[in-house]
Amino acid sequence: MLLKLTGSSCSGKSTLAFAVADRLRDVVVHDFDEVGVPRDADPHWRHRSTELWVRRALVYQERGLDLLLTGQSPLGEVLAAPSTPKVDGIALCLVDVDDEIRRVRLADRDSGRWDTSAVDAFVGWAAWHRGHARDPRHLPEAITTGGAPDMVWHRWTGWTAGDPRWSTHVLDTTDEPVSQSVDELERWVVDQRAAHRSGRLPLTLGWVDQPHSG
């Protein structure tokens, strides 16, 4: 299955994913940006790269492995990638943090790289992620406009917040020790894999053919 950690920059996605890697059997961990990030990275690039990672998840699936992937692609982009219906299970976790902490982390990690408007954009992107995690109708144009032409948005754009398939777990790292967040992430992964094995996972094979509910 594909276990996706999403969220804006400096929430702790990669730190948590690689910290939990040794605790999980038959799970491989990758960072979305391993494929290389161009200077002019835009939604079109992110969509094409999302499809690349979905295909990688399918390769691991054939080997009996699950993929834990960090990156900024939200649930709507994952579901719209052309090959996603072939993945036998999908679960999303939004790794979030307080806006001011994000600003401090950006300054510490990339000192002098981002001006005020760029930092504000990261914070705004984080706010959008929160809204998108709650409701598929929250400003979908933020990801659909200017996207790759083969993305299949209509798979979910008619859904409502009450649809059980629209589910993103939120892991807030604000004021939490890293060890505590790692423990929470481990529990989430274990729970999602158990739900998949027992047939309780909403986003399993056939989800794309189910009628909209809400």
Domain ranges of the chain: 2-204
The residues pairing with 196 across neighbouring beta strands, listed in sequence order, are none
Helix (H, G, I), strand (E, B) or coil at 200: coil
Q: What is the pLDDT of residues 41-62, one digit of tens each?
A: 778 889 999 999 999 999 999 9
Q: How far apart are CA 1 and CA 206, in angstroms?
A: 14
Q: What is the pLDDT of residues 54-88, one digit of tens each?
A: 999 999 999 999 999 999 999 999 999 999 999 99
DSSP label of 1? -
How many Cβ atoms are within 10 Å of 178's Cβ, its own excluded? 12
pTM to 2 decimals? Answer: 0.94
Question: Position of tokens 């200017």?
Answer: 146
pLDDT at residue 189, as a whole number = 98
The superfamily (CATH) of domain 2-204 is P-loop containing nucleotide triphosphate hydrolases (3.40.50.300)
pLDDT at residue 42, as a whole number = 79
Q: What is the pLDDT of residues 146-182, one digit of tens each?
A: 889 999 999 999 999 999 999 999 999 999 999 999 9
Q: How far apart are CA 214 and CA 198, in angstroms?
A: 23
Above 80 in pLDDT, residue 113? no
